[in-house]
Amino acid sequence: MTAIQALILGIVEGVTEFLPISSTGHLILTSKLLGIADSDFLKSFEIAIQFGAILAVVVLYWKKLWKNKETWKKVLVAFLPTAVIGFLLYKVLKNYLLSSSTIVLWSLFLGGVILIIFEVWYKKVKSTPKINGRTFLGNSEISYKKSFLIGVWQALAIIPGVSRSGATIVGGLAMGISREAIVEFSFLLAIPTMAAATGYDLLKNGASFSGNQIYVLILGFMVSFVVAMAAVTWFINYIKNHSFIWFGVYRIIVALLFYLLIFQFKI
- Reduced to 3 states (helix: H, G, I; strand: E, B; else coil), residue 193 is helix
Q: CA 113, CA 177: separation in Å to the nearest integer?
A: 22
The residue extents of the domains of the chain are 3-264
Task: Give the number of other Cβ atoms within 10 Å of residue 254's Cβ.
Answer: 21
pLDDT score, position 267: 65
Which among 166, 186, 183 is positioned nearest to 250, based on CA atoms? 166
pLDDT score, position 107: 92
CB 22 within 8 A of CB 158: no
pLDDT score, position 7: 95
**C-alpha torsion angle, residues 90, 95, 98, 103 (rounded to 10):** -110
Cα–Cα distance list, 40 to 65, 102, 104 (Å): 34, 19, 18
pLDDT score, position 140: 52
pLDDT score, position 59: 86
pLDDT score, position 136: 41
Entry pTM: 0.84
3-state secondary structure 85-126: HHHHCHHHHHHCHHHCHHHHHHHHHHHHHHHHHHHHHHCCCC
Give the orientation angle of helix 179-205 with respect to helix 40-60, to 10 degrees.
140
pLDDT score, position 137: 43
Q: CA 107, CA 113: separation in Å to the nearest integer?
A: 10
Q: Tell me the mean pLDDT per 10 residues along the chain, length 267.
A: 93 92 91 89 89 87 74 89 83 74 91 91 62 43 89 88 89 86 87 86 85 92 93 83 89 93 74
